[in-house]
Structure 1
Amino acid sequence: MKRSLIILMLMGSTSFAQTKKEITLEDIFQKGIFNTKTVSGLRSLKDGKTYVSIETNSETGLKYVAKNNYSDGKVSEAIFTEKDLLFKGRKLPMSTHFNEDESKVLIADEEESIYRRSSKANYYVFDLRSKKVTEVSSNGKQLFATLSPDGSKVAFVRENNIFIKDLHTEEEVQVTHDGKKNEIINGGTDWVYEEEFAFARAFFWSPDSKTIAYYKFDESEVPVYSMTVFDKLYPTEYQYKYPKPGEKNSVVSIHLYDINQQSTLTVDVGKEKDQYIPRIKWTQDPETLCVFRMNRHQNKLEYLFADTKTGASKVILTEDNKYYININDDLTFLKDGEHFILTSELDGYNHLYLYNNKGNMVRQITKGDWEITKFYGINESTNTLYYQSTESSPLQRDVYAVKLNGKNKTRLSKEAGTNSATFSADYSYYILNHSSTNTPANITLHSKNGKLVRMLEDNSQAKQVADSYGVKGSEFFQFTTSAGVELNGYMIKPLDFDPQKQYPVLMYVYGGPGSQNVADSWNGSRSLWFNFLAQKGYIVACVDNRGTGFRGQEFQKSTYLNLGKLETEDQIEGAKWLAQQPYIDGNRIGIWGWSYGGYMSSLCITKGADIFKLAIAVAPVTTWRYYDSIYTERYLRTPQENSEGYDDNSPINFADQLKGKFLLIHGTGDDNVHFQNSVLFSEAIIQANKSFDQAYYPNKNHGIYGGNTSLHLYGKMTDFVLNNL
């Protein structure tokens, strides 16, 4: 009787699995039926008790910007409506980009993307008191338009020069005059700073609105890279400055423009020109600017305090690292005018430190074999710091509060998984975003003591849709390599998984420095594609190799000066470990990746060709000699100093070792990892007389998307996997 019941239960389970809906690529990339909801556009007002959001009147359909109470979510005031945002008969888009005193709103219209973090638009300013809309400029689109803290002016960049619009007189003043395409940039970054130091606007208002500190990039001697744009009868050439390893970088200088005097002086950043200025930041004193100065090897970082009246500077703090230093935006100057907080890997893990303005460490605030992954800020009225960390596990993220003295640490997030927070201006409320590999984003509002105020979005509908299609989360695993290193991994198995059968495996890899794929969080379309493949009878697996992040400095920086070597060894060991599992067919293991992951999959199908039956490389670096200076030299130094580090693990040099099935994919308009990488890798494979497949996507950038592009791309990869693995 019991045996019959067990059989019936198993049959029922199998039947249940078989009744799940079948995922299609159209479901993922066109219909978006698995999309989750988020809570966006909630901008805290400076009182910390209210926030603004863009709402729609259910009766009239009229959009309006609402002032809402954090406490109950009710609208306390309609600040303005879309009817207010008319300029010469043109309806402008809604915006919540308030200036510091919340008297004006900045509006961007007809925005055009340039690179990853830059765009240009027609900007307008809406005055909340007068209800007047002012056009920032009628002389062409602007970049980086930014209101002064007092709301009296707007600064922006056009054609590589800085301008200021006075909102009272409506006069437009040109601050710089030497800007020139591919030679001089004022107030914006060059391509490599934008990509690798992660900022594009390069001017900053002083706290008192009297001074603008700005960058000047002299890129006149940086080599030009040309991309063919296939858009006309005769294709055009897009040319921009792109410094490759060992080549000349822009010469960067910092300048201070006095608004009242309309005069400019230069900050003393030292005599060395071949260096980086990865950040500048105003202190609490409007006459003191902090300048980050970093050597080209990126293993020495100096904090300079510059006098805005003279431009003179002095080093107040120096940090050295035997590998390299990661730049972030955590530096916070306290309102007492005497101290600042920063994060550093001084003890081997990323932690919070308190310094005085003379550069003396007061204390290390957090300690332990775990990492601070985000610093949210400090409530100075209670001396409480808020941060996200990996304290519970490298695969998890939790939100904590701790006192400035390092005591009374409190974990604010309670659920295992990935937690992040957005705090109100005075830290009296925070929005908590929680997800796990099995749970889409659950977004809740809490008071500062952690008490739940209300649910904002539980994504229950998205969860129901995922369940109806049998979408599964990841199963995590760990294994120890022959080198004695424990690595983390995950796998997604077929819904009707049978441990008595053997399944082919497609491994997914990124693997670059400081990255992470193996994490307990809800993932997007790529993970859905993995579930799609699982429905086709594949196991999808992923291993975070040495060099990835959030396990301390020594683990992350173990690949220093030799990118690709340890990472490839770990992916090969991961494949071997998988092959030892009784439910995996060790003769049918493939691997794929994008960008650094494409680099890794290319190495695996060449240097690791005896292990992998198939590989797909999307937009790969195929030799580090072709990538940019800041990223590559951070990990390898220059080719002149470390030629072996560049050549010993570049796939282009191992084309003759290619075995198995290989698909190479690239966008011809990739400004980041140039199409050149795949073109010359293809040539090397051809000259080695090896068989392979390739696909290019016309005029597509590094993300390879737009229209039906994603659907086509994943369809091509799907067919390649189904036909060859």
Structure 2
Amino acid sequence: MITRPLIRASFIGVVYAALTACQPAGEPNSADPAGQAAAPSKPVSADPPIYDTALSLDSLYTVPSIAGTPPRAAAWSGDGERLAFLWNDAGRPFHDLWVCEAADCTPRRLTRHGETASDRITDTGISEVVWGETGSQKLVYVLGGQLHGLNGKGEPVTLDSQRASVHQLSRSPSGQRIGFVDGGPVSPRYFEFEPGGGLWVRGTGTDAEAARQLVPTEHDYQYVESHQWSDDGRSIVFIMADRGAVPEREIHYVYNGEKQIRRVRRAFPGDPTTRRRIGVVDVDSGALRWLDRRDELRPVWGYDISADGTRLLVNESDFLIKEHVIDVYDLATGARSNFLTRADPANVIPGWQARWAPDDRGMIILTDRDGYYHLYYKAAADTEPVAITAGEWEVESFSVDPDEELIYYVANTPHPAERHLYRVAVTGGEPERLSRRSGTHQPVYSPGHERAAVIFTNDTTPPDLYLNGLEPELEGVQVTRSPGDEFDALPWATVRYPRFNSHVDGTELVGRLLLPPDFDPEHRYPLVVGSIYPNTVRNRWGGGSATPIWGLDQHLVARGYVVFAVDVRGSWGHGRAFSQGLLGDYGGIDTDDLESGIRHLIGQGFVDPDRVGIWGWSYGGLMTLMSLSRKSDLYAVGVADAPATNVWHAFPEQMWVMGEREGADYPERYERMSALYQTDGIEDPLMILHSTADSVVMFSDSLAFTEKLIAREADFEFVPLPAASHVWANGDLTRRRFGYRKIVNFLNEHLQP
């Protein structure tokens, strides 16, 4: 029994006016209060009334959502004249099927399944949609794991009741057939598998060709991971993943008063990992050929069938992503030849992409060979790549228009937080910017690249669907309006993007800063650094996170906090030297980057240096614990959510950063990056939250961490969340509000906003 008064391990059931200066078009407001004298300390005003009403956690996390339900899964008809997408115009979680004509952009709802559905946030409705034949109204979609479509009267009908775990819908070039996978890792907790996982085809109409299996699987842990049709529709290339050799582990927990056991295939560093075979199958005959890969343990980052259907490029690397390789296969004979090989012993980000150039004349390759991820044209295996784009910014994705010999791409310029649309000739030249509004643009191009369906969002605008005509200076036309009517009237946080230099090596860093709308530079505000993670500095609603922290951030700002995130080393978009700074240094240079940002804000005078808190989830939890251990004088409190305390239990892919489990500096290298071995420096109040059924970060690792804290009689609280997944905040709304309320109350207690 714990009796010492310092131990609180309670297992609960579970800056200023200049910042508003105008910025160049398309660039977020990044004015930075550098060089100003520190403001005098002054008590912060009482809680604004809005904190108790519209910006409370109960109001921000409810159904219907005040921020609306983002549209998703945009799909163009074969002629590029119509667009199908999934949406809910009432802010409820269930997505129904909608269409709009490219000519007038007026959305029209085709299904009403959501009218009889529950409001559980896990019941997200229709998951995928594809069009049938060009010029027809045929649509095929997935609901509840089954194939559905529309009959001649436009009424929803079930197309196939025999298969119940359908996903990966794909449309043949003619639209007469669709491909899909039935079974495999379809659960959100992706370590769990449904039986099956093979590749199927069928016709698109209600009276069309019945479903038939093209590629079967041999056991339950084998599944088709992805597939692509050839341009003539005669064959499909696919990747067959096999997790049969991955160790099976048991996750023990208690739920509803009963012991539960989940068995998952979960590898640790050094364990056997997923094997991947590449096959090509003839759609009519079912004839199957397996291609001879260099090593089936090598990850595949993409593949592309040539326009004439004779060759396949495979974009891959070694497991530790230190050698990038593009191989070409002759699909008739299976013969393999090398097109590109490039080694980089310090690489930590696999951002490579490759597509065939127009008329199959070489390849368009996305690589960071010159320091930043840019587009290159490589005509043949024995020629050097020629740069198409260049600059101290990076290309995120691209699409090739073979008819016009143009490349459409998304890049983080003119500011690291932005994602804008551009196009450039295959031969290079000055790129044309096709999006104007500052924020994040995610395009789905029509078949002929005449238009793009764009999901647009920025710091003040939740995601919505726009149609972009892909011409310079032409603004997209808004198709959906997702936020509720009251959204625009609320005092949301003001977002800024300060730049500052690392206090360790002088590298320029950028942060994302949330300020109260009535920000007063003469106040000293408490600062919450978090939720910390790589790639958090994004001009989009909620910033950059896999968890729904947008409401938590807004609630904290309304409560009187300043909230701050930093693109730490290892983040994409800042160049190779920046990302490679993380190599072998989890919990080291990344936490130094956070400290640099905090020092910068304190130097502006509006942050109280005695009231700085930090919190993060998963890897962010590791950074939180390492920050508290290494920099206890900097922080007043910390919250670690599902913290990855033990890198020996990380994913094998974390070896990209951690390195092999061998060498002269092993195991000291792994111990240095594991918070489990850094508990002695933790002096600040700490809260740990963790789901008991987490199969990504082991709950037992948090227990091991708390054992060490208890042995030191440390001051901490522990909040277990029963039976939830690693991303527990994405599940039940009641649990989300409970967990976020625990975080807020703990921060309030120690930072006193």
TM-score band w.r.t. shorter chain: 0.7 to 0.9
Instruction: Output the amino acid matched with 1:622.
Output: T
Which segment drifts farther, 352-361 or 689-698? 352-361
Q: Look up the match of 2:105.
A: 73
CA–CA distance in 1 between the matches of 2:659 and 2:254?
A: 35
Alignment of 1:198-237 (within 5 A): 201-228=225-252, 230-231=254-255, 234-237=258-261
CA–CA distance in 1 between the matches of 2:386 and 2:403?
A: 20
CA–CA distance in 2 between the matches of 1:711 and 1:551?
A: 35
Measured against aligned partners, the alpha-carbon deviations of 1:457-497 in whole angstroms (never above 9, x if no partner) come to: 696976x8456442222233233233222322243334554
For residue 98 of structure 1, the aligned residue among 127, 131, 147 is: 131
CA–CA distance in 1 between the matches of 2:132 and 2:553?
A: 44
Instruction: Output the amino acid matched with 1:98.
Output: W
8 Å contact kept, 1:276–1:295: yes
TM-superposed CA distance for 1:35, in Å, is 0.5
Q: Look up the match of 1:194.
A: none
8 Å contact kept, 2:353–2:367: no
The reply to whether residue 323 of structure 1 matches residue 359 of structure 2 is no
Q: Look up the match of 2:378.
A: 355
Q: Look up the match of 2:514.
A: 492
Q: Secondary structure at the match of 1:540?
A: strand
8 Å contact kept, 2:67–2:482: no
CA–CA distance in 2 between the matches of 1:277 and 1:719?
A: 45
TM-superposed CA distance for 1:68, in Å, is 4.1
Q: Look up the match of 1:43.
A: 75
Kindly tell me: are residues 233 and 165 of structure 1, through their superposed partners in 2, closer, same or farther at Cα, counting changes over 3 Å?
A: farther
8 Å contact kept, 1:431–1:446: yes
Q: Look up the match of 1:87.
A: none
8 Å contact kept, 1:105–1:128: no
Instruction: Output the amino acid matched with 1:107.
Output: Y
CA–CA distance in 2 between the matches of 1:169 and 1:455?
A: 38
The reply to whether residue 340 of structure 1 matches residue 363 of structure 2 is yes
Q: Secondary structure at the match of 1:635?
A: helix
Q: Look up the match of 2:118.
A: none
TM-superposed CA distance for 1:590, in Å, is 1.0
Q: Look up the match of 1:250.
A: 274
Q: Look up the match of 1:622.
A: 645
Instruction: Output the amino acid matched with 2:198.
Output: I
Structure 2 residues without counterparts, runs of 5 or longer: 1-43, 90-94, 114-124, 184-194
CA–CA distance in 1 between the matches of 2:248 and 2:526?
A: 45
Measured against aligned partners, the alpha-carbon deviations of 1:392-436 in whole angstroms (never above 9, x if no partner) come to: 121333322222221242222233444444433322233555554
Q: Secondary structure at the match of 1:587?
A: strand
Alignment of 1:148-547 (within 5 A): 148-150=172-174, 151-152=176-177, 154-158=179-183, 159-160=195-196, 162=198, 164=200, 167=203, 170=210, 172-173=212-213, 175-176=215-216, 178=218, 180-182=219-221, 185-187=222-224, 201-228=225-252, 230-231=254-255, 234-270=258-294, 272=295, 274-324=297-347, 326-327=349-350, 330-356=353-379, 358=381, 360-361=383-384, 363-375=386-398, 377-431=399-453, 434-438=456-460, 444-450=466-472, 452=474, 455-456=477-478, 465=486, 468-483=489-504, 484-512=506-534, 515=535, 517-523=536-542, 526-547=549-570
TM-superposed CA distance for 1:362, in Å, is 5.5
CA–CA distance in 1 between the matches of 2:453 and 2:164?
A: 39
8 Å contact kept, 1:123–1:145: no
CA–CA distance in 2 between the matches of 1:552 and 1:693?
A: 39
Kindly tell me: are residues 292 and 601 of structure 1, through their superposed partners in 2, closer, same or farther at Cα, counting changes over 3 Å?
A: same
Q: Secondary structure at the match of 2:338?
A: strand
Instruction: Output the amino acid matched with 1:522.
Output: W
Q: In the comparison of the two structures, how many residue pairs are matched?
A: 665
Which segment drifts farther, 647-656 or 221-230? 221-230
The reply to whether residue 719 of structure 1 matches residue 745 of structure 2 is yes
CA–CA distance in 2 between the matches of 1:433 and 1:66?
A: 15
TM-superposed CA distance for 1:329, in Å, is 7.7
For residue 715 of structure 2, the aligned residue among 687, 691, 698 is: 691
Kindly tell me: are residues 358 and 635 of structure 1, through their superposed partners in 2, closer, same or farther at Cα, counting changes over 3 Å?
A: same
CA–CA distance in 2 between the matches of 1:613 and 1:15?
A: 21
For residue 107 of structure 1, the aligned residue among 129, 141, 155 is: 141
Kindly tell me: are residues 385 and 128 of structure 1, through their superposed partners in 2, closer, same or farther at Cα, counting changes over 3 Å?
A: farther
The reply to whether residue 706 of structure 1 matches residue 732 of structure 2 is yes
Which segment drifts farther, 288-297 or 128-137? 128-137
TM-score (norm 2): 0.79
Structure 1 residues without counterparts, runs of 5 or longer: 1-13, 58-62, 84-91, 111-120, 188-200
Which segment drifts farther, 440-449 or 503-512? 440-449
CA–CA distance in 1 between the matches of 2:702 and 2:659?
A: 23
Alignment of 1:562-711 (within 5 A): 562-630=585-653, 632-641=654-663, 642-704=666-728, 705-711=731-737
Measured against aligned partners, the alpha-carbon deviations of 1:187-215 in whole angstroms (never above 9, x if no partner) come to: 2xxxxxxxxxxxxx334443334334333
8 Å contact kept, 1:99–1:147: yes
Kindly tell me: are residues 589 and 448 of structure 1, through their superposed partners in 2, closer, same or farther at Cα, counting changes over 3 Å?
A: closer
Q: Secondary structure at the match of 1:30?
A: coil
TM-superposed CA distance for 1:686, in Å, is 2.3
Measured against aligned partners, the alpha-carbon deviations of 1:344-370 in whole angstroms (never above 9, x if no partner) come to: 111110111122354634621101111
CA–CA distance in 1 between the matches of 2:568 and 2:390?
A: 25
Q: Secondary structure at the match of 1:342?
A: strand
Q: Look up the match of 2:30.
A: none
Q: Secondary structure at the match of 1:534?
A: helix
TM-superposed CA distance for 1:16, in Å, is 13
Q: Secondary structure at the match of 2:597?
A: helix
TM-superposed CA distance for 1:592, in Å, is 0.6
Instruction: Output the amino acid matched with 2:437.
Output: E
CA–CA distance in 2 between the matches of 1:479 and 1:617?
A: 26
8 Å contact kept, 2:57–2:551: no
RMSD: 3.7
8 Å contact kept, 2:129–2:142: no
Q: Secondary structure at the match of 1:708?
A: helix
Q: Secondary structure at the match of 1:265?
A: strand
TM-score (norm 1): 0.81
CA–CA distance in 1 between the matches of 2:480 and 2:619?
A: 34
8 Å contact kept, 1:99–1:149: no
Instruction: Output the amino acid matched with 1:584.
Output: V
Kindly tell me: are residues 591 and 668 of structure 1, through their superposed partners in 2, closer, same or farther at Cα, counting changes over 3 Å?
A: same
The reply to whether residue 28 of structure 1 matches residue 42 of structure 2 is no
8 Å contact kept, 2:466–2:477: yes
8 Å contact kept, 2:214–2:286: no
Larger RCO of the pair (alpha carbons < 8 Å, separation 6+): 2
8 Å contact kept, 2:79–2:135: no
CA–CA distance in 2 between the matches of 1:348 and 1:100?
A: 44
Measured against aligned partners, the alpha-carbon deviations of 1:15-64 in whole angstroms (never above 9, x if no partner) come to: 9995756421111112556404655565322323333457999xxxxx99
Which segment drifts farther, 681-690 or 240-249? 681-690
Q: Secondary structure at the match of 2:360?
A: coil
8 Å contact kept, 1:655–1:684: yes
Measured against aligned partners, the alpha-carbon deviations of 1:260-281 in whole angstroms (never above 9, x if no partner) come to: 44443321113x4543334343
Which segment drifts farther, 590-599 or 125-134? 125-134
Kindly tell me: are residues 164 and 295 of structure 1, through their superposed partners in 2, closer, same or farther at Cα, counting changes over 3 Å?
A: same
Percent of aligned positions that are identical: 21
Q: Secondary structure at the match of 1:474?
A: strand
Kindly tell me: are residues 434 and 161 of structure 1, through their superposed partners in 2, closer, same or farther at Cα, counting changes over 3 Å?
A: closer
CA–CA distance in 2 between the matches of 1:475 and 1:66?
A: 35
